Amino acid sequence: MDEQDYLQSEGEHDDTIDEYLEMLEEDEASAESKRSRPVFKIGAVVILLAFIAFAYAWLPFLWPPHLDFLQQDQALSEEDLVLRCKPAVVNIQAKKTGDALSSQGTGINLEAEGMIITNRHVVEGAESVKVSFSDEKSYFSQDMEIIDGYDLAVIRLKAKDLPFVAVETEQMVERGQIVTIIGNPRGFQRISSRGEVKEYFESDAGMPAFTINATIAPGSSGSPVLDEKGCLVGIIFAIGTVKLDGEEQERALAIPATALNYTEAR
């Protein structure tokens, strides 16, 4: 399947979640032996590879899709926190300039007029972006601001009465705290996962970040990390694998929401 086919078929994924789950359960034994997740060191190389995988929609077809995230979403989808926050989670499609490929990711709205937070690598080099909400309303914008020193960007809309979430910029989320992630992995829309905040680290570029033992997939770039109150405490930017006690463990990598203190907007 080429890039165009994949982008056109994304809207069909929502209707086939149950079918995928049944397939996953039936093939669980054989699928386990076929899985081969990439192993990354936390650092510049890891971040670069993860950026590429997240930003370009066609890359997931270079390896078998992992649908584990759908199982947890089924359990979380009816929770009050998830239901309250989902309307503020958006899908972002960025139209790149020149010969660059278009990219897509997730974002979260923080203001009724439209202030979308996403990853820098999702929108960098774009001449315009399309922001789509869960009610199928879409907005186009060329008003984008890059947050220096972070893989973060702000997209401004000219709208009103949009759903939004509150943001925690006073203190970082604590290690051991349980958080919820809502994103658009592999074309599925507003899929929720949950995990525990594990380690804090600093990237080679000096960007503070933390890890979460939660399952995410390409398309999750810019996904909000929410605390038990539904406040934004972090933004997903990559996947990494850490080695602990001789065992490799996959982690979601996130930027603390305190980074938003460095924007002119807040």
Digitized pLDDT (tens) for each residue of the chain, 266 residues in all? 232 222 222 333 444 445 444 554 555 444 444 444 444 444 444 444 454 444 444 444 444 445 666 778 888 989 999 999 999 999 999 988 776 667 889 999 999 999 999 999 999 989 999 999 999 899 999 999 999 889 999 999 999 999 999 999 999 999 999 999 999 988 889 999 999 999 999 877 788 999 999 988 888 999 999 999 999 999 999 988 877 777 888 899 999 999 998 665 44
Same domain, 62 and 149: no
Same domain, 96 and 50: no
Could you say which of 108, 133, 156 is where a domain stops?
156
pLDDT digits (tens, 9 = 90+) for 77-116: 899 999 999 999 999 999 887 766 678 899 999 999 999 9
Instruction: Please give the C-alpha separations between residue 69 and each of 11, 88, 181, 203, 246, in angstroms, as whole numbers.
Output: 18, 20, 11, 26, 25
User: Considering the domain boundaries, does residue 161 fall inside one?
Assistant: no
CATH number at residue 261: 2.40.10.10
User: Considering the domain boundaries, does residue 263 fall inside one?
Assistant: yes
Same domain, 148 and 28: no
- The DSSP H or E segment spanning 161 is none
User: Considering the domain boundaries, does residue 138 fall inside one?
Assistant: yes
Same domain, 103 and 3: no
Taking the C-alpha atoms of residue 68 and residue 185, their distance in angstroms, rounded to an integer, is 11
Same domain, 135 and 44: no
The domain in which residue 148 lies consists of 87-156
pLDDT digits (tens, 9 = 90+) for 131-164: 999 998 999 999 999 998 899 999 999 999 999 9
**Which residues, 6 or more positions from 33, have their beta carbon under 8 angstroms from its beta carbon?**
none
Q: What's the pTM value of the predicted model, to 2 decimals? A: 0.74
Could you say which of 156, 180, 205 is where a domain stops?
156
Same domain, 110 and 229: no
pLDDT of residue 136: 86
Same domain, 39 and 98: no
* Residues forming a β-bridge with 232: 167, 226
- Total domain count for the chain? 2
Sheet with strand 89-96: strands edge to edge: 138-141, 126-132, 89-96, 103-109, 115-118, 152-156, 144-147
User: Considering the domain boundaries, does residue 66 fall inside one?
Assistant: yes
